Structure 1
């Protein structure tokens, strides 16, 4: 049975989400006049889209920086842990070059590649 009101269905978290309006919020609140210029409305929509695009770019840039920092932190920790394990294995006389030494080398190489990629992107 389909209910058309905003009450949540069993298992839903909240009311149904309505699709976004194609008209920007500022334009929805502005009173419509009979002599409204279509060029002004088009300019207002263009400005609204530019502002949205700028916000999207800032959000994407911030999330990219956060992801790069997290990846670099993880790679640094893995390299540190693998180097420590390799040193402990060498002191005990166990095989230390493979796997802990190889894993450390891969993590250090990935960390260096990530840092080079970040620095190159920053120059643009």
Structure 2
């Protein structure tokens, strides 16, 4: 049982054989176009995934800085009510965290507004 060389093998999932009248140049052009289209789709999926990951990272960082600011302010208020030092460790940490949170949110807002 001899098989025609242009026929695919059993279980072959590759492209169908090209009829002899279709030139090899047309096949190469179609293949190149398909590869370009595949690469463009892949790049679009990568950009979308990176954008979502970036938004999640910014949201987590904002939540963390917000919590640190809240905790430091609460500690400063408790220290002041006890008569302990409240400015240097807790109030300064709260101010630094609040400043970092403001910078992060401003950066995220401007980046989104500019469409990056």
User: Under a length normalisation based on structure 1, what TM-score does the superposition of the two structures give?
Assistant: 0.74
Residue 30 of structure 1 pairs with residue 15 of structure 2: yes
Render the CA deviation track for 1:48-102: whole Å, top value 9, x for unaligned. Answer: 0000000000000000000000000000000000000000000010000010000
| Deviation for aligned residue 1:38 | 1.1
Runs of 4+ in 1 over 6 A off after TM superposition: none
Deviation at 1:33, TM superposition (A): 2.0
Query: C-alpha separation between the residues in 2 aligned to 1:74 and 1:55?
Result: 29
More helix by share: 2
Could you say what secondary structure the match of 1:42 adopts?
helix
Larger radius of gyration: 2
2:39 to 2, 26, 49: 49
Tell me the SS of whatever aligns to 1:94.
coil
The 1:94/1:32 distance shift into structure 2, 3 A limit, reads farther
| Higher relative contact order, structure no. (Cα contacts within 8 Å, ≥ 6 residues apart) | 2
Closer, same or farther in 2 for the Cα pair 1:107/1:32, shift >3 Å? farther
96 and 106 in structure 1: CA distance in 2 versus 1, 3 angstrom threshold: same
SS at match of 1:33: coil
* TM-score (norm: length of structure 2): 0.79
Unaligned 5+ runs, structure 2? 1-12
- Offset, 1:39: 1.1
Is 1:82–2:72 an aligned residue pair? yes
2:110 pairs with 87, 103, 120, which one?
120
